[in-house]
Chains A and B, each alone.
Chain A
């Protein structure tokens, strides 16, 4: 009895693990990557458009705003986000998406995603960063 239950539980967990590996491999839903240590933190936010039209947003999170605050991005195209923290730890969470990143002083975080629907997406700071943390919001406008 105990053995059967044990095997069933382990088997189920194994299955779950395979499912999440499959989601990472096949659907590209993954956790943030590790950038090489040459990538140094930056202290000014900006938006770049690469020659092939790909949009790159460099966010700086600081007490208590994101820079740049409002960014327009194309619908359905890949967008690269880079994130640096200028003072304390912050979070960057694009509402209704899987874009969920920690902004850690000293290191640069990164994520690539697409917005499939046009609209205004609030970006919420979701890590406590001091007394005005609740006011730290930015917006992505997908057109």
Chain B
């Protein structure tokens, strides 16, 4: 992997489609992030109302979750995957496949957006039945997912061809990372598809009266935890492949990076029951097994922490650092021409707390104190809202700049964004987490009850943390506004380079890469273990969920009587 790589010229159609893939979610984010900030105001009792500026609290929260955590991450996964495949495999994408995939994703997003904006889908981004949304919500989401599958299917022949033409070489690390991300995504969206296609859509259309709720939830979380690795792995690819180079060094160990991706493949799916510790109907043994496996899937993240730190240390030493911690100060934290470094380092600082609090959530009985409290939202804003979000912001702008040939304008402002975001987050998230430990529920418009001094349910002990969370939220909102300003300045600037020249900086490995004969250069054995673990860990819980004595009819979120007449 030591060859210096040239730019890759993206074909005209793919260029336009990729611009849509990065720009559309950023546009939607304006609404998504705005409502994040407004949520902190409701939750502090600064807004005491069921809606504000035309959006209901739960309507806006649905948009916040769907846009930020589903639309943005899926579009970016596909856009970055498209960039990685073209750049490292040095082949163009299939134009029709690309058009179909991006088209379905875009149309699906629009179809799902309509009921959300009309207030016909106030079911939050987890859409737990028996709350029911308008069928268009589920159908749009399905098209979005299918579009992302098609992008993935289109990469497989390119990878195969590269392998045929490069015998004796392991596939490029970035390709392996994106491939594992999408294998995980494809595998885990199958249970989701079963829930949505065979349960929710027919039920929301009134074709079936009732569905099995524990089963639907189990299928959802079968998908829901691997989903977070689909969010995380593109970020890890950037940390392993681009960051060490941009920081001025090498990747400490490519074999360790490969091992990390393969371990995620094996361990990221059989862990979903850790979202259901507090639910009835599963024997404790299975909850415990999922807890154990969840601890297992923490190992690749520990290796990542180690490898990334070692790579950064190497970079610092290359830059003349001495002493045990001297390398930290030698890194180009504030180099406006290396925004990836700023976006990565700020994300890594956030991830320290995000990762550790994740272990708390995973800890079986410890989860009893924090499940569904503000602790959980505090935690995941330091993962998906931290490193993942910052890498998405940083790279979306970079890709947009390369695809249009327009240089990024406001470079100094650009690198201020991640640090300001990290500052806001280090205020917002701990406040949410301490609030959670004091018992604040998540997913709650607290301004109408707990944070309203005239309500009988007023909780004085929750006031301080809710206000601090709002201050943190305001700083994060400000960081995002600056980011939008950088985008606008960049769009307004004239192109200075030919459009569509892709360039991804690529670090060499300090330790030599694995030989192709090694088990770490193969995929099949790992896939086999993954399938085995999934069967072992999910067979019994799914059967236990299927034993549920009663099914449930659908409900609209604002009406306590069922949306259909159930024949008894």
Q: B549 touching A131 by the CB < 8 A rule?
A: no
Decide: B560 and A104 in contact? CB cutoff 8 A: no
Q: How far is the CA of A5 from the CA of B378 in the complex (A)?
A: 28
Contacting residue for A17 out of B276, B291, B371, CB 8 A: B291
Closest CB of chain A to B511's CB: distance in Å?
8
Task: Pick from B58, B282, B366, B369: contact of A128, CB below 8 A.
Answer: B58
The answer to whether A41 has its CB under 8 Å from any CB of chain B is yes
Q: Restricting to A90-132, which residues have a CB under 8 Å from any CB of B?
A: 91, 93, 95-96, 98-102, 104-110, 122, 124-131
Assess whether A29 is in contact with B365, with CB atoms less than 8 Å apart.
yes
Please tell me which one of the listed residues A6, A100, A101, A126 contacts residue B444 in the complex, with CB atoms under 8 A apart.
A126
Interface string of A10-41 (1 = CB under 8 A from B): 10011011001101100001111111010011
Q: Which positions 546-568 of chain B face chain A at CB distance < 8 Å?
A: 547-552, 555-560, 562
Whether B303 lies near A6 (C-beta < 8 A) is yes
Binds B, one of A48-56, A72-80, A133-141: A133-141
**What distance in Å separates the Cβ of B244 from its nearest Cβ neighbour in chain A?**
15
Tell me if B544 is interfacial: C-beta within 8 Å of chain A. Answer: yes
User: How distant is the Cα of A105 from the Cα of B292 in the complex, in angstroms?
Assistant: 28
B50's partner among A96, A104, A131 (CB-CB below 8 A) is A131
Query: Is B368 interfacial (CB-CB < 8 Å)?
Result: yes
Which B residues are within 8 Å of any A CB, using their own CB?
A: 50, 56, 58, 122, 124, 128, 130-131, 212-214, 217, 253, 256, 276-284, 287-288, 291-292, 295-296, 298-299, 302-303, 306-307, 310, 359, 363-373, 439, 441-446, 448-450, 457, 459, 544, 547-552, 555-560, 562
Chain A residues near B128 (CB-CB < 8 A): 88-89, 127-128
Determine the distance from Cα of A65 to Cα of B328 in the docked complex, in whole angstroms: 54
A88-B555, A93-B373 known; A13 vs B550 contact (CB < 8 Å): no
Docked Cα-Cα span, A130 to B549, in Å, equals 24
Task: List the A side residues contacting B544 at CB < 8 Å.
Answer: 34
B562→A131 contact, CB < 8 A:
no
Q: Inside 8 A of A99's CB, which chain B residues have their CB? A: 368
Docked pose: A94 CA to B282 CA in angstroms: 22
Residue from A30, A87, A106 having most chain B Cβ neighbours under 10 A: A106
- Can you list 26 A-B contacts (CB < 8 A)? A9-B298, A21-B288, A23-B366, A24-B365, A31-B278, A32-B279, A34-B282, A34-B544, A83-B280, A87-B560, A89-B131, A98-B368, A104-B217, A104-B279, A105-B213, A106-B213, A106-B552, A107-B279, A109-B280, A124-B441, A126-B373, A128-B444, A131-B56, A131-B122, A133-B445, A134-B449
Least CB distance, A48 to chain B, in whole angstroms: 19
* Residues A108 and B303 in contact in the complex (CB < 8 Å), given A88-B131, A137-B457: no
Q: Which residues of A contact B369 (CB under 8 A)?
A: 98, 100
- B457 & A135 in contact (Cβ 8 Å cutoff): yes
The answer on a CB contact under 8 Å between A106 and B359 is no
Interchain CA distance A32-B281 in the complex, whole Å: 9
Task: Report the nearest B residue to A37, measured CB to CB.
Answer: B547
With A29-B365, A87-B562, A137-B449 known to touch, is A106 a contact of B551 (CB < 8 Å)?
yes
Identify B298's interface contact among A2, A13, A63, A124, CB under 8 A.
A13
**Cβ-closest chain B residue relative to A35:** B280
Indicate if the CB atoms of B439 and A96 lie closer than 8 Å: yes
Q: Which residues of B are found within 8 Å of A127, using beta-carbon distances?
A: 128, 372, 443
- What residues of A have a CB within 8 angstroms of the CB of B295 in the complex? 13-14, 16-17
Contacts of A135 in B (CB 8 A): 448-449, 457
B212: which of A2, A106, A109 is its contact (CB, 8 Å)?
A: A106
CB-based contact A95/B446 at 8 Å? no
Which residues of chain A are within 8 angstroms of B284 by Cβ–Cβ distance? 30-31, 33-34
Sorted nearest first, the 8 A-B pairs with minimum C-beta distance are A9-B302, A126-B441, A109-B280, A63-B560, A105-B552, A126-B372, A130-B557, A128-B443
Given A34-B544, A106-B214: A40 touches B550 (CB 8 Å cut-off): yes
What's the Cα separation between A95 and B437 when bound, in Å? 10
Distance (whole angstroms) from the CB of A5 to the closest CB of chain B: 4
**B555 A63 Cβ-Cβ under 8 A:** yes
- Chain B: which residue is nearest A4 at the CB level? B306
Contacts of A126 in B (CB 8 A): 371-373, 441-444
- Which residues of the partner chain A approach B446 to less than 8 Å between Cβ atoms? 134
Is B441 a contact of A131 with CB atoms below 8 Å? no
Q: Is the CB of B444 within 8 A of A133?
A: yes
List A contacts of B306 (CB < 8 A): 2, 5-6, 9
Chain A nearest CB: distance from B558 CB in Å?
A: 4
A124 adjacent to B124 (CB under 8 Å): no
Q: Residues of B contacting A29 with CB < 8 Å? A: 365, 368
Q: Which of A2, A95, A126 has the most CB of B within 10 A?
A: A126
Q: Are A100 and B214 in touch, CB under 8 angstroms?
A: no
Name B548's contact: one of A106, A110, A122, A130 (CB within 8 Å).
A106
Contact A31 B373 (CB under 8 A): no
In contact, A34 and B457 (Cβ under 8 angstroms):
no
CB neighbours (8 Å) of B450 from chain A are 134
**A46 vs B221: C-alpha distance in the bound complex, in angstroms?**
32
Question: Are the CB atoms of B364 and A32 closer together than 8 Å?
Answer: no
Q: Looking across the interface, which residue of chain A has its beta carbon closest to that of B447?
A: A134
B280 touches A128 (CB 8 A): no
Contact B365–A100 (Cβ < 8 Å): no
A129 neighbours in B (Cβ, 8 Å): 131
| A125 (CB) vs chain B CBs: closest residue | B441
User: How many Å lie between the Cα of A10 and that of B300 in the bound state?
Assistant: 10
Q: How far is the CA of A2 from the CA of B364 in the complex (A)?
A: 29
Contact of B124 among A107, A125, A128 (CB under 8 A): A128
> Hey, which chain B residues are within 8 Å of A89, CB to CB?
128, 130-131, 213
- Bound-state CA distance A1–B306 (Å) is 10
Question: Is the beta-carbon distance between A34 and B278 smaller than 8 angstroms?
Answer: no
Residues of chain B contacted by A10 (CB below 8 angstroms):
299
| CB pair A107 B557 closer than 8 Å | no
Query: Which residues of chain B are within 8 angstroms of A33 by Cβ–Cβ distance?
Result: 284
Given A17-B291, A128-B128, A134-B444, 13 more contacts at CB 8 Å?
A9-B302, A13-B295, A16-B359, A31-B364, A40-B549, A41-B549, A64-B560, A89-B131, A104-B213, A126-B372, A127-B443, A133-B444, A135-B449
A125 to chain B, nearest CB (A): 7
Q: State A95–B217 Cα separation when bound (angstroms).
A: 25
Q: Please name the residue on chain A nearest to B310 by beta carbon.
A: A1
What residues of B have a CB within 8 angstroms of the CB of A108 in the complex? Answer: 280
The distance in angstroms between the C-alpha atoms of A21 and B212, with both chains bound, is 31
**Smallest CB-CB separation from A133: which chain B residue?**
B444
Bound-state Cα–Cα, A96 to B292, Å: 27
